[in-house]
Amino acid sequence: MSEYLFFLGQNHPLSLAEIKRRLPQVEPITVNADRAYFELDFAPLSLASQLGGTTKIAQKLTDLSPDLEPLLVDQLVALKASTFCISLIGPHSQNIYSLHASLKEKLSSVLSSVRYILPKDGHLSPLVLARQHVTELIVDFTRNTLYHTIWVHDFNAWIIRDRQNPYITPRQGMLPPKLARIMVNLALGSRTTADTTFLDPFCGSGTLLSEARLLGLSTIGTDLSADQVKGTIDNLNWLGKIYPQNLPPFSVFGADATHLSEIIKTPIDLIVTEPYLGPLTPSLPKQMNIAKGLYKLYLGALKDWQKIVSPHHTIVLAYPLFEDSKTLKYFHDFIDTTLKLGYNQPVKNLLFTRPNAKIQRQIIILER
Ligand SMILES: C[S@@+](CC[C@H](N)C(=O)[O-])C[C@H]1O[C@@H](n2cnc3c(N)ncnc32)[C@H](O)[C@@H]1O
């Protein structure tokens, strides 16, 4: 068993929910805003690269000793850390500049060309860590523990998938790939990807299908718009070129999400989707009619999907977040219907909101 510190991405509850769904048998030791601590009997490196919401993982090296500097020197020498950074978490009286300068002086007699990078806002960003090949030690005074950063997310790969797809449709409110990956993991849970079937019935430009395929899921995507179907196919073919390893097959075609049972005959295990969300910034008076229309569309689709899903399936939906009490009624009616259809909601109140975003979403997990 070893202790690991997971740094959670921008939306902490959503990032934590993703880890918990993938590791249902493990409870975090503790969670502290953007950090979650787990005791694991395996190295979480391959899991880490599958997560959308975790940015950095550090492994416990040892408990802190009252004399911090000799402990840090020993560990940095053992790690042959010629470029190092000491990040400090929790209340402390250390002077970060003199600590780094003093460590550099001591290390210089043992290692060649030693340099350091100072942490910013408490710890080093994953981007700097990856680009500069820095050995980061994290002194966590809240847990009296020293950690070593062992993994950072692949910042560039996320940016490329977000911005360099051949088909981009900003007006449809494209899903950020990280949120798409989190949604796929919320649905996948502890299932294995082999033999698990995946459907996005409002596939848009194919972001969810791309992230599902990168996890190893065979995917089906459908959309009412012929342009979106063609765009999704272009994006999935492009994905195959930038990830030349054998990605699982995909099938994408035009269909109305409320009539899929007429076409799809394979039992579906996972439905993960961001359905049509309505106009981007509707005025308050218009919101009630929009909420009513979306409620009808989502309910029609959910009822039709009952005919194509496998007995133990999971549905993850991004639902627009309306805050007005009259429009909220339609959301509550939708949830009531899902309960009547025999679903449970294993995690509630998952929001994906950003200060200036045109659309605020809530993520609903329905499980049976
Ligand atoms: C919000 S977009 C999905 C965006 C997608 N997640 C992405 O990242 O590109 C919603 C999609 O639903 C499609 N759509 C709207 N009504 C539909 C229906 N009844 N059946 C299937 N697709 C529909 C639209 O063409 C649009 O592509």
pLDDT score, position 205: 96
Domain boundary, last residue among 107, 129, 153: 153
Asked whether residue 78 falls in the same domain as residue 193, the answer is: no
- Is residue 51 located within the same domain as residue 131? yes
**What's the pLDDT score for residue 172?**
61
Q: How far is the CA of 278 from the centre of ligand 1 (A)?
A: 10
What's the gap in Å between 68 CA and the centre of ligand 1?
A: 55
Q: Return the ∠ at Cα 48 (arms to 321 and 3), rounded to 5°.
A: 110
Site to substitute for ligand 1 among 271, 276, 277, most atoms within 8 A of C-beta: 276
> Is 160 part of any domain?
no
| Domain limits for position 104 | 2-153
Residue pointed to by tokens 């079937």:
197
Look at residue 37 and tell me if it is in a domain: yes
Number of domains in the chain: 2
Are the CB atoms for 209 and 197 separated by under 8 Å? no
> What local confidence, expressed as pLDDT, does residue 171 receive?
66
Nearest CA among 235, 176, 243, 234 for reference residue 215? 243
Residues 20 and 131 in one domain: yes
Residue nearest to atom 23 of ligand 1 (CA): 224
Point out the ligand 1 atom lying closest to the alpha carbon of residue 277: 1
Q: Is 143 part of any domain?
A: yes
Residues of the chain with pLDDT under 70: 170-173
* Domain shared by 39 and 85, yes or no: yes
Residue 158 lies in a domain: no
> Same domain, yes or no, for 197 and 243?
yes
Where among 113, 128, 153 does a domain terminate? Answer: 153
**The tokens of 227 are what?**
């342009």
Contacts with 367 (C-beta within 8 Å, 6 or more apart), sequence order = 314, 315, 343, 344, 345, 346
State the CATH number of the domain containing residue 39: 3.30.2130.30
The neighbour count for residue 239, using CB atoms within 10 Å, is: 19
Question: Please, how many CA atoms are within 13 Å of residue 284, restricted to the half-sphere of its CB?
Answer: 4
Residue 2: beta bridge partners? 40
- pLDDT of amino acid 96: 95
State whether 247 and 284 are in the same domain.
yes
Here the CATH number for the domain that contains residue 350 is 3.40.50.150
Q: What is the pTM of this model?
A: 0.96
Q: What is the rounded distance in angstroms from the CA atom of residue 144 to the CA atom of residue 183?
A: 34
> For residues 22 and 18, what is the distance between their CA atoms, to the nearest angstrom?
6
**Residue 34, in any domain of the structure:** yes
252 C-beta closer than 6 A to ligand 1:
no
| Statement to judge: residues 141 and 242 lie in one domain | no
Among 122, 131, 41, which Cα is nearest to 86's? 122
- Which DSSP helix (H) or strand (E) runs through 221? strand 218-223
276 in contact with ligand 1, CB cutoff 6 A: yes
Is residue 159, in this structure, part of any structural domain at all?
Answer: no
- Within a domain: 333: yes
Same domain flag for 263 and 346: yes
Which residue intervals of the chain are DSSP H helices? Answer: 12-22, 45-48, 68-78, 96-108, 126-132, 155-163, 177-188, 207-214, 226-242, 284-305, 325-340
Whether 188 and 243 map to the same domain: the answer is: yes
Task: Please give the distance of CA 245 from its chain centroid, rounded to a whole number.
Answer: 22
Pocket test for ligand 1, best of 179, 200, 207, 223 (most atoms within 8 A of CB): 223
Return d(Cα 195, Cα 56) in angstroms, integer: 30
Boundary-marking domain end, from 97, 125, 153: 153
Give the number of other CB atoms < 10 A from CB of residue 32: 16
What digits encode the pLDDT tens for the residues 155-168? 999 999 999 999 99
Q: Are residues 141 and 176 in the same domain?
A: no
Q: Are residues 251 and 319 in the same domain?
A: yes
Tens of pLDDT along 21-71? 999 999 999 999 899 999 999 999 999 999 999 999 999 999 999 999 999
- With CA atoms as reference, report the closest residue to 22 among 196, 192, 179: 192
State the pLDDT at residue 280.
76
Q: Is residue 136 part of a domain?
A: yes
**Is 114 in the same domain as 16?**
yes
